[in-house]
Amino acid sequence: MRFGAQSEVRPLRTLLLHRPDPGDLRWVRRDSQSYFNIEATIEPEKFLADYDQMVSAFASQGVEIVFLTDVLKGHDEALRYISRRPNLTYMRDMATVYRDGAVVMNPHLKGRQWDGWVVAACFRRLGIPILGEIKYPGYLEGGGNGFLNDAIGYVSLCDRANEDAIGQLASCALERSIEQLVVVNLPNGHIHIDGLFMVVGETTAFVHRPVLEISPTRVMRRGGSIEHVWFLDYLSELKFELIDGPAHMDMNYVAVAPWRVIGYDLVTTNAKVIKARGGEVITIPGRELVKGRGGVHCMTCPVLRE
């Protein structure tokens, strides 16, 4: 399989998704919601109907959809495990795919710990090399990292990522795939940078300035040198146009091409700006899906961008 998704906006060709079975979602009960980090009891049929609209939206844009359970068909141990892990729906947090292979993440939440092994098994079946697997005591989730361009990745030091994991990521990625890793130190209470920052064009990004303007940042370079900067200043030096926007779900879109994004119909502020700039916003119902405390960005793991 062709792979390499070292961009946030270049044309999206392949996604790895996990569509749970209705029975998988019934493990989310009132007594288990907090364990799975689910906001409210899920109605499986409604959840999956909305999920299928998301899948259709990506397919309509020419994106190939690869489902986790399809790849692992016949792997009985993995399928039994997946059937009781509803949070695998949020595939972004499980891996980041570079041009040289994948880094499998190690989630911080108790209800997601140990899930990385099934994703690693999936990549091996797809023929995608494993650059590394984040190991304890490190923890890191894919919603906390991404790409500014082909040569520069970013990652947030946040509630769900620690220094140990970021060191492991740097060892994997700076060795082969990227030239710089930008580490953004977020205040307590922020779980991922993807609720504060969204690249929408090759050099245009939405930012939630009140948090990001106070975030000290270090730039780790291949070869070992480190520079201390401020994140928004660093983006300006890269000639990024920065657009102020609200936090959280308004930043949780996925670009299928520059200025063409897919996201929930629940959020409209940044969508209005994208449309005013001549871009396209494709929306899907989000009222049931959002109960999982995640958006379209959270549910999608890009495997290939042109």
Alpha-carbon distance of 194 to 173, in angstroms, equals 19
Quick: pLDDT tens for 226-270: 999 999 999 999 999 999 999 999 999 999 999 999 999 999 999
- Residue-wise pLDDT for 38-97, tens only, equals 998 889 999 999 999 999 999 999 999 999 999 999 999 999 999 999 999 999 999 999
Compute the average pLDDT of residues 157-170. 98
Angle at 270 between CA 268 and CA 273, to 5 degrees: 105
User: Where on the phi/psi map is residue 216: left (φ > 0), alpha (ψ -120 to 50), or beta?
Assistant: beta
The DSSP output letter for 187 is P
Inter-residue contact 133 to 106 (CB < 8 Å): yes
Find out whether 1 and 303 touch, Cβ atoms under 8 Å.
Answer: yes
In this prediction, what percent of the chain has a pLDDT beyond 70? 100
Burial of residue 249 (CB within 10 Å: 0-12, 13-18, 19+) is buried
Mean per-residue pLDDT, 139-160: 97
Q: Quick check: 236 and 230 in contact, CB under 8 A?
A: no
- pLDDT score of 163 more than 90: yes
Q: What is the pLDDT of residue 40?
A: 85
Structure confidence by residue, pLDDT tens digits, 284-295: 999 999 999 999
Contacts of 23 (CB under 8 A, 6+ apart): 44, 83
Distance (Å, whole) CA 219 – CA 79: 40
Query: What does the pLDDT look like over 192-206, one tens digit per residue?
Result: 999 999 999 999 999
Q: Report residue 283 as tokens.
A: 């929306």
Amino acid at 93: D
- Supply the pTM of this predicted model: 0.96
User: For residues 58 and 15, what is the distance between their CA atoms, to the nearest angstrom?
Assistant: 9
- How far, rounded to the nearest angstrom, does the alpha carbon of residue 171 sit from its chain's CA centroid? 20
Q: How far apart are CA 221 and CA 16, in angstroms?
A: 29
Report how far residue 185's alpha carbon sits from residue 193's, in angstroms, rounded to the nearest whole number.
Answer: 10
Query: What residue type is 52 in one-letter code?
Result: D
Q: What pLDDT shows up at residue 175?
A: 87
Q: What is the mean pLDDT of the chain?
A: 97
Name the pairing type of β-strands 101-104 and 130-133.
parallel
What secondary structure does DSSP assign to 10-74, as a single string? SPEEEEEE----HHHHTT--TTTTTTTT-SS---HHHHHHHHHHHHHHHHHTT-EEEEHHHHTTT
Domains annotated for the chain, with CATH where assigned, are 12-305 (3.75.10.10)
Per the DSSP assignment, residues forming a β-bridge with 27 are: none
Contact status, residue 161 vs residue 103, Cβ threshold 8 Å: no
